Amino acid sequence: MSILTWARTHSPWLIHFNAGACNACDIEVVAILTPRFDVERFGALLKGSPRHADVMVVSGSVSRKIRDRLKRIYEQMPDPKFVVAVGSCAISGGVFQDCYNVMEGVDKIIPVDAYIPGCPPKPEAILDGVVKLLMSAGY
Amino acid sequence: MERDGGKTLSEREFIIPIGPQHPALKEPESFLFTVDGEVVVDVEPRIGYNHRGIEKAMESRNYIQNLYITERVCGICSNAHQTAYTGAVEEVGSIEIPERAKYIRVFMQELERIHSHLLWLGVAAHEIGFDTMFYYVWRDREVVMDLLEEVSGNRCNYAMATVGGVRRDLPRDKYPKWHKMLDKLAERTNYYIKVASTEKTILERAVGVGYLGKEDMIRLSGSGPNARSSGVPCDIRKLTPYLIYDEIPFKHIYVDNGDVLGQVLVRTLEVIEAVKICKWVLDKIPEGEIAVKFNPMQRLPEGEAVYLVEAQRGELIHYTISDGRNMPYRHKIRAPTLGNIPSLVERLKGGYIADIPITIAGIDPCFSCTDRMAFYDEGKDKTWTWTDVELSKYRKEWYSR
Amino acid sequence: MKKVSIEEHIKIVEDLVKEFGEENIYNTKVPRAYRAFAHVKREKLRDIVRYLKEEHGFVHVTTISGVDMGENYEVVYHLRSEGFSFSLKVPVPKDDPKVPSIVDIINGAVLYEREVNDLLGIFPEGHPDPRRLILAYDWPEGVHPLRKEWDIQTIREKVDGKRWGKDVE
């Protein structure tokens, strides 16, 4: 493993983006930061700006108005970048399939590296998903 | 960038767009702030980033399928939405639900209120830079999350209510354990009330911030803890009692502060009341059936119903019209936050930029976003962003004038 | 808590009918305590809202819904005084989709009227700022999704230029 990969996989910085979610996934994403789950022991840190982030955690079914923002935020992230789709909505639109203002999934807009199913996924599942992503990136 | 209603800015004024992506969490919303120095002069809310078209979708799904979609209008108020939806549908169909089901719905609703208010308290602490309290509160919030998971099997989106009753029963042998968990929550919340009303870190950032008086709040049709912090007694549970709320003894909480501290007090005191309600329900719950049968193909008679519920963030309305089929002709949902935005705009005006996050978080859409600034120059018609160095240079120039 | 009986609410509705006449307020019904519905002539809406506000304390607007009733539209104003929720339904003809704005009487209606304008295309006349609120900025003019003539695939055809989704593939 190169020292670069080692450094990257041991301190992935996350950005959380709500693309029209119902907030259930969002509060679970925030819950993984809190004392019981504590994602920071894997070196992960939630950042505010996409320019600082390596991994984008996207929740929500991607509404039409947010679509361009999602693309723009993705483009602002420096390479190498990863996208994690959290929740059924982010994977396929979930219960909001066939709503006129919904694009039915994050992967229709930007490439996605990991999918975490659930409505909402439990914090343990989100942790597991992030760890699996890091493994596949050479942890 | 689209101009703010064709209004012209004076030379001293800038527009700061904030959102829709923002560091802390939750809903994508956007605000355009017109600022003069550090003072907010005008605010233009931009919403709709989360618009999914639920009302249209509900017109083509039957009453049972719609349960799942109403629940996911908002993952934090999911039970409030289900209560309002099932209530409206049952009112149209004249379906009488069993007494025990009413108690279980109230129990879920109050647990959800505890979870939501504690969540808010943590987020508010985070917005004023008091992260220690954020971690403390969210650690204690896990107690109510565990309780919710034990009752319903899921941490959010509980799927408890159904048309005609509830899905799951509360097993009696668990009550002593739940009483203990509720006691712990009450004890911790009392501690947070003490912290919030004495700790200088909070008082300095909360007293007088985002003030709005009672008359203005009534004029702008605010609701929920947002309005009750300005001294408006507007708890729907007291005003138009639904389910069994007219039998439950609990205090109607409102304070006259009108600022962020008032909102902290209202929410924390409501947690205490909610714990009391939950314990009362566990003591008084009658035996019996938990649901009457309702099948997905069942047609409702023609009619309409308005159902009001006191959700965690304020007054929630579901208005349903049935034309005699097994799906609604039209179902209108208005969530509390939309009703609170006009009063939020008023709260923000005249405040400082630094107080924007906590003021917005105050009404509980939870919002903070101060790292990404873009400026708009009317004469030159271009936008640009500033680096930290440029910002500090500007600050020095501004203050040395 | 003060118990309110259904009679008090019926009295308010009867008083309103007496004040404005049965040709302006019709189809009134009070299905239970705390709830009432009535049809209202569009021309009289502002007078009635002002009367309700001044005489009976209806200072709070819960929301404004728009409904496509087939032969016409209906805009429903859900006003509330304490716990009493009164829904005023205003029929709006399809060839003239406009309602008078009530923002200057009840300030809290400011966003709801814009929402109805977006989703049903019923323009609030006299609104201080009737711009688009909810739909995307590149959403085509004239597509009002809550009108019954627009179903999901026709909206997609108009907005995205093609039909798509699980029913199409």
pLDDT tens figures, C12-24? 999 999 999 888 9
C53-65 average pLDDT score: 91
Tokens of A75: 């483009």
Q: Amino acid identity of B361?
A: A
pLDDT < 70 regions, chain B: 1-8, 19, 22-27, 365-401
Angle at which helices B175-198 and B131-152 cross, to 10° = 160
Q: What is the pLDDT of residue C3?
A: 66
SS3 C73: strand
Question: What's the gap between Cα B152 and its chain centre?
Answer: 21
- Least CB-CB distance to A65: which of B22, B51, B155? B51
Q: What is the pLDDT of residue A119?
A: 87
Strand spans (E) along B265-381 = 303-311, 314-322, 330-334, 374-377
Chain A touched by B311 (CB under 8 Å): no
**Are residues B203 and B105 part of one domain?**
yes
Question: Which residues fall within 8 angstroms of residue C7, CB to CB, at 6 or more apart?
Answer: none
**Inter-chain contact B51–A34, Cβ cutoff 8 Å?**
no
Contacts of C122 in chain B (CB under 8 A): none
Please give the helix or strand (H or E) that residue C16 lies within, else none.
Answer: helix C6-20
* Beta bridge mates, B382: B377
**Are residues B391 and B317 part of one domain?**
no
pLDDT: which is higher, C169 or B293: B293
Q: What is the CATH number of the domain that holds B92?
A: 1.10.645.10
Chain C partners (3+ C-beta pairs within 8 A) = A, B
Domain count, chain B: 2
In a domain, B348, yes or no: no
**Inter-chain contact B48–C146, Cβ cutoff 8 Å?**
no
Contacts of B369 in chain A (CB under 8 A): 48
**Are residues B328 and B383 part of one domain?**
no
Contacts of C145 in chain A (CB under 8 A): 100-101
**Are residues B147 and B68 part of one domain?**
yes
Tokens of B324: 């005699």
Q: Which residue of B has its CA nearest to C74?
A: B330
Q: What is the pLDDT of residue B379?
A: 36
User: Which residue segment(s) compose the domain that B389 sits in?
Assistant: 10-51+371-401
Delimit the domains of chain C by residue range.
6-134, 136-169
CA B317/CA B242 separation, integer angstroms: 13
Q: What is the pLDDT of residue B368?
A: 26
CA B343/CA B93 separation, integer angstroms: 36
**Are residues B395 and B312 part of one domain?**
no
Mutate to test the interface with B, among A17, A25, A92, A95 (most CBs of B within 10 A): A95
Using 50, 70 and 90 to split pLDDT, how confident is the model at C54? Answer: very high
Domain count, chain A: 1
CA B281/CA C18 separation, integer angstroms: 45
In a domain, B354, yes or no: no
**Are residues B290 and B390 part of one domain?**
no
pLDDT tens figures, C76-112? 999 998 889 999 999 999 999 999 999 999 988 988 9
The residue to which tokens 């323009």 are assigned: C123
Q: What is the CATH number of the domain that holds A33?
A: 3.40.50.12280
Chain A partners (3+ C-beta pairs within 8 A) = B, C
pLDDT: which is higher, A28 or B6: A28
Burial class (CB in 10 A: 0-12, 13-18, 19+), C71: exposed
The radius of gyration of chain C from alpha carbons, rounded to an integer in Å, stands at 18
Q: What is the pLDDT of residue B392?
A: 56
ipTM of the complex in this document = 0.92
Q: Give the gap in angstroms from C-alpha C96 to the nearest C-alpha of chain A.
A: 26
Angle at which helices B175-198 and B260-284 cross, to 10° = 160
User: Which residue segment(s) compose the domain that A46 sits in?
Assistant: 3-136
**Are residues B385 and B261 part of one domain?**
no
**Are residues B70 and B190 part of one domain?**
yes
* Beta bridge mates, C72: C93
A16-33 average pLDDT score: 86
Q: Which residue of B has its CA nearest to A100?
A: B53
Chain C touched by B249 (CB under 8 Å): no
Q: Give the gap in angstroms from C-alpha C166 to the nearest C-alpha of chain A.
A: 8
Burial class (CB in 10 A: 0-12, 13-18, 19+), B295: exposed
Pairing status of strand B161-162 against strand B165-166: antiparallel
SS3 B45: strand
**Inter-chain contact B51–A16, Cβ cutoff 8 Å?**
no
**Inter-chain contact C165–A100, Cβ cutoff 8 Å?**
no
**Inter-chain contact C152–A64, Cβ cutoff 8 Å?**
no
Q: End-to-end distance of chain C based on CA atoms, in angstroms? A: 58
**Are residues B61 and B43 part of one domain?**
no
Residue C169 pLDDT > 80 = no
In a domain, B358, yes or no: no
**Inter-chain contact C145–B332, Cβ cutoff 8 Å?**
no
- Least CB-CB distance to B139: which of A17, A27, A35? A35
Q: What is the pLDDT of residue B393?
A: 61
In a domain, B343, yes or no: no
Contacts of A99 in chain C (CB under 8 A): 152
Q: What is the pLDDT of residue B380?
A: 38
Which CATH code for domain C6-134?
3.30.460.80
In a domain, B282, yes or no: yes
